[in-house]
Chains A and B, each alone.
Chain A
């Protein structure tokens, strides 16, 4: 609910500016912003957005949100969520991903998903396509539990898994499973403009009916003579190996390649391209596994100050930081006052009171009652 002191100074002249701009040729957005600045005097210490967001969550630009408008099943364990982004969404390029935050049992969880819709989509909505991981928490929830109307939290699209403009003449897409999602956005974008470069899509999935976007991909390949689709059904034909690439796509060396899929496949691909001396022609999209392996103690890095220390599994991170000379905020040192909270950049920590291991990227943790459970990075 806090805002910077700068807003204070700005707000005084905001109303006059807003009126002037409304009379002149100022953009609607600027007028809106100035009006909201002026309104802050009526809502302090809250922001006007805090009230607007209660009427319609998508009106608040404090926190980027989206409303799930449809959930479309793709395969038995994958679904596409059609999301209308709220105020503040700045669009995306085909191939990028966005972080999606969803409240499950009252707790917000963030995960990254490729946007499967192209920016060319006319209705302003975006889609993510999620495959349920039977051992996961968020993906099964998104696939099976989310209903239209659900509000999700969004972060700006990011990522470099995109085609340059203009796209190269010859393309190869190497994908497996839900790794098709960013490539689907790219292919859909190309198709929307009616120009498909010479492209080969080598895609692996367990079986024909488990190919996400299977029908659409086959239709695209039928529509564009320049797009060739090689589907690999691994349950019958086994895993696709790099040795087989030459046969499926003999001119792979002459193509720019975009690869997305399981870590093992990407490791193989990187090795294969490196050996051929073509590492710069391969573009890879990886998602960090969401479950970090825990442990007892580990190296603690303080990313802002550059400090680090090796911690055992019983010393509070507060003490670890202090001993390493890091300026640690603190208060009661017993887990009640929340003066010591810091942002977890990576790794997992253990609550010394309960022994429970917890921690997601970006989560605020109480350093005075948390110890390292494996390597940890803290934003201090």
Chain B
């Protein structure tokens, strides 16, 4: 299944209309089954992750108070980095998807959650939950294809600016939360006149207000509180933020940009059925193989395929869904794109490097099988 798909007309051409309908039915059924089985152990899971995350954050920040001692700096920074990663990935991203709304707990709810990221939750929910998850991998619709800044698919027309993309992708990785915040304001759409500058600037104002507090917390309040450890605390916080940024950039890029992740044209949306929607999500996403710790640290985006099929199912369930989705793919001859973190990351960077240059010839557009 992992082998590269050779040149082909369409990866779904072999599916009949009945097959597609059946795929939709099977996945709907899988969703219902998981929804019906949600209960106390799931609730315990998210409460535990939140408690561990807050405990790690408090520990990290306390250690950094005495970070003038190098071992305390190292341990404190590591704790804080892990805490920030958990907060963004396994908690924030998933709560904002409404994965835990079924618990009816206003403290763990998509409508009330705010996260430790430069982008405000409301803006993120629009750009990510609405635009990206609805129009996944549709060229011209899904702004997450290259985040309006990178050429990650041969179908995107080349421009000399892309010659620099290996460099600015590396810089983006270190400052990813800021990249996302600016990206969420959709400046390029304002540039093209698709939305007003007033709206875009208002959104940037929202980012400034939200992110301002984060900046003050990490780079003013805690360093000041640390007194003689001012500088090491500031550096520790910066290192933790950078580590979180590089990690989330890596994981997220592995979700849609490795080799084999399909892109689609806009006409695919015309009368797209439930089954076709599922197939698009499936073929447009890529997984990362690994153990439970990797899944936790990626916020279960290592199960990107399952996440895109069922974005509002609790992330702790993706691991049990995965083998069943994989089996379905096998039965219907659909590619289930998965590989180790190293392999997928190498594949992403290979694409970023290759597509900085003009070409290659675009893959043929995916014609709908019907």
- Give a binary string over B115-139; 1 marks a CB under 8 Å from any A CB, 0 the rest: 1100001000110011001100000
Contact A107-B104, Cβ < 8 Å, known A42-B217, A339-B125:
yes
| Docked-complex contact A44 and B105, CB < 8 angstroms | no
Nearest B-chain residue to A104, judged by Cβ = B40
Contact A334-B104, Cβ < 8 Å, known A41-B221, A353-B28:
no
- Which residues 38-85 in A have Cβ within 8 Å of B in the complex? 41-46, 50-51, 54, 62-63
Check if B320 is an interface residue, CB within 8 A of chain A: no
Check if A337 is an interface residue, CB within 8 A of chain B: yes
The number of inter-chain residue pairs (CB within 8 angstroms) is 116
Check if A108 is an interface residue, CB within 8 A of chain B: yes
Nearest B-chain residue to A60, judged by Cβ = B107
| Docked-complex contact A341 and B111, CB < 8 angstroms | yes
| Docked-complex contact A339 and B129, CB < 8 angstroms | yes
| Docked-complex contact B134 and A45, CB < 8 angstroms | no
Contact A334-B134, Cβ < 8 Å, known A44-B213, A45-B114, A45-B115:
yes
Whole-angstrom distance between the alpha carbons of A54 and B43 in the complex?
A: 15
| Docked-complex contact A103 and B107, CB < 8 angstroms | no
Q: In angstroms, how far is the closest chain B Cβ from the Cβ of A205?
A: 34
Chain B residues closer than 8 Å to A339, beta-carbon distance: 125-126, 129-130
| Docked-complex contact A107 and B125, CB < 8 angstroms | no
| Docked-complex contact A107 and B112, CB < 8 angstroms | no
Check if B365 is an interface residue, CB within 8 A of chain A: no
Check if B101 is an interface residue, CB within 8 A of chain A: yes
- Give a binary string over B211-225; 1 marks a CB under 8 Å from any A CB, 0 the rest: 001101100011001
| Docked-complex contact A336 and B39, CB < 8 angstroms | no
Residue in A45, A46, A107, A353 whose Cβ sees the most chain B Cβ within 10 Å: A45
Nearest B-chain residue to A360, judged by Cβ = B104
Whole-angstrom distance between the alpha carbons of A41 and B216 in the complex?
A: 8
Whole-angstrom distance between the alpha carbons of A176 and B311 in the complex?
A: 49
| Docked-complex contact A50 and B104, CB < 8 angstroms | no
- Give a binary string over B164-193; 1 marks a CB under 8 Å from any A CB, 0 the rest: 000000000000000000000000000000
One of A2, A337, A341 near B114 (C-beta < 8 A): A2
Check if A164 is an interface residue, CB within 8 A of chain B: no
Whole-angstrom distance between the alpha carbons of A227 and B103 in the complex?
A: 47
| Docked-complex contact B129 and A338, CB < 8 angstroms | yes
| Docked-complex contact A336 and B134, CB < 8 angstroms | yes
Whole-angstrom distance between the alpha carbons of A334 and B130 in the complex?
A: 10
Check if B202 is an interface residue, CB within 8 A of chain A: no
| Docked-complex contact A335 and B221, CB < 8 angstroms | no
| Docked-complex contact A105 and B40, CB < 8 angstroms | yes
| Docked-complex contact A107 and B214, CB < 8 angstroms | no
| Docked-complex contact B213 and A41, CB < 8 angstroms | yes
- Which residues 346-373 in A have Cβ within 8 Å of B in the complex? 353-354, 360, 363-364, 366
Check if A106 is an interface residue, CB within 8 A of chain B: yes
Check if A331 is an interface residue, CB within 8 A of chain B: yes
| Docked-complex contact A337 and B129, CB < 8 angstroms | yes
Q: In angstroms, how far is the closest chain A Cβ from the Cβ of B16?
A: 24
Contact A338-B217, Cβ < 8 Å, known A106-B42, A354-B35:
no
- Give a binary string over B95-113; 1 marks a CB under 8 Å from any A CB, 0 the rest: 0011001111111011111
Check if B312 is an interface residue, CB within 8 A of chain A: yes
One of B35, B111, B213, B221 near A364 (C-beta < 8 A): B111
Number of B positions contacting A (CB below 8 A):
51
Whole-angstrom distance between the alpha carbons of A360 and B103 in the complex?
A: 12
Chain A residues closer than 8 Å to B213, beta-carbon distance: 8, 41, 44-45
Chain A residues closer than 8 Å to B129, beta-carbon distance: 331-332, 336-339
Q: In angstroms, how far is the closest chain B Cβ from the Cβ of A19?
A: 15
Whole-angstrom distance between the alpha carbons of A257 and B169 in the complex?
A: 76
Whole-angstrom distance between the alpha carbons of A43 and B104 in the complex?
A: 24
- Which residues 300-331 in B have Cβ within 8 Å of A in the complex? 311-312
Check if B141 is an interface residue, CB within 8 A of chain A: no
Chain A residues closer than 8 Å to B44, beta-carbon distance: 106
One of A41, A46, A51, A364 near B104 (C-beta < 8 A): A364
| Docked-complex contact A106 and B43, CB < 8 angstroms | yes
Nearest A-chain residue to B111, judged by Cβ = A341
Check if A1 is an interface residue, CB within 8 A of chain B: yes
| Docked-complex contact A44 and B101, CB < 8 angstroms | no
Check if B32 is an interface residue, CB within 8 A of chain A: yes
| Docked-complex contact A341 and B126, CB < 8 angstroms | no
Chain B residues closer than 8 Å to A103, beta-carbon distance: 40, 43, 103, 105
| Docked-complex contact A107 and B107, CB < 8 angstroms | no
Nearest B-chain residue to A53, judged by Cβ = B107
Whole-angstrom distance between the alpha carbons of A335 and B216 in the complex?
A: 37
Chain B residues closer than 8 Å to A42, beta-carbon distance: 61, 217, 221-222, 225
Chain B residues closer than 8 Å to A45, beta-carbon distance: 114-116, 210, 213-214
Check if B346 is an interface residue, CB within 8 A of chain A: no
Check if B51 is an interface residue, CB within 8 A of chain A: yes
Check if B58 is an interface residue, CB within 8 A of chain A: yes
Nearest A-chain residue to B45, judged by Cβ = A106
Chain A residues closer than 8 Å to B42, beta-carbon distance: 106
One of A5, A62, A109, A336 near B311 (C-beta < 8 A): A336
Chain A residues closer than 8 Å to B105, beta-carbon distance: 103, 108
Chain B residues closer than 8 Å to A335, beta-carbon distance: 312
Check if B38 is an interface residue, CB within 8 A of chain A: yes
| Docked-complex contact B217 and A336, CB < 8 angstroms | no
Nearest A-chain residue to B130, judged by Cβ = A331
Check if B354 is an interface residue, CB within 8 A of chain A: no
Check if B368 is an interface residue, CB within 8 A of chain A: no
Q: In angstroms, how far is the closest chain A Cβ from the Cβ of B17?
A: 20
- Which residues 193-220 in B have Cβ within 8 Å of A in the complex? 209-210, 213-214, 216-217
Whole-angstrom distance between the alpha carbons of A138 and B133 in the complex?
A: 37
Q: In angstroms, how far is the closest chain A Cβ from the Cβ of B40?
A: 5
Check if B54 is an interface residue, CB within 8 A of chain A: yes
Whole-angstrom distance between the alpha carbons of A354 and B33 in the complex?
A: 10
Whole-angstrom distance between the alpha carbons of A360 and B113 in the complex?
A: 22
| Docked-complex contact A1 and B38, CB < 8 angstroms | no
| Docked-complex contact B111 and A106, CB < 8 angstroms | no
Whole-angstrom distance between the alpha carbons of A225 and B311 in the complex?
A: 67
25 contacts between A and B (CB under 8 A): A1-B107, A1-B112, A8-B209, A8-B213, A41-B213, A42-B217, A42-B221, A45-B214, A106-B43, A106-B103, A108-B103, A109-B104, A331-B125, A331-B130, A332-B129, A337-B129, A337-B133, A338-B98, A338-B101, A339-B126, A341-B98, A341-B101, A341-B111, A353-B32, A364-B104
Known: A107-B103, A336-B129, A336-B133. 11 other contacts (CB 8 A): A41-B217, A50-B107, A54-B55, A63-B106, A332-B130, A337-B134, A338-B98, A338-B312, A341-B98, A354-B35, A360-B104
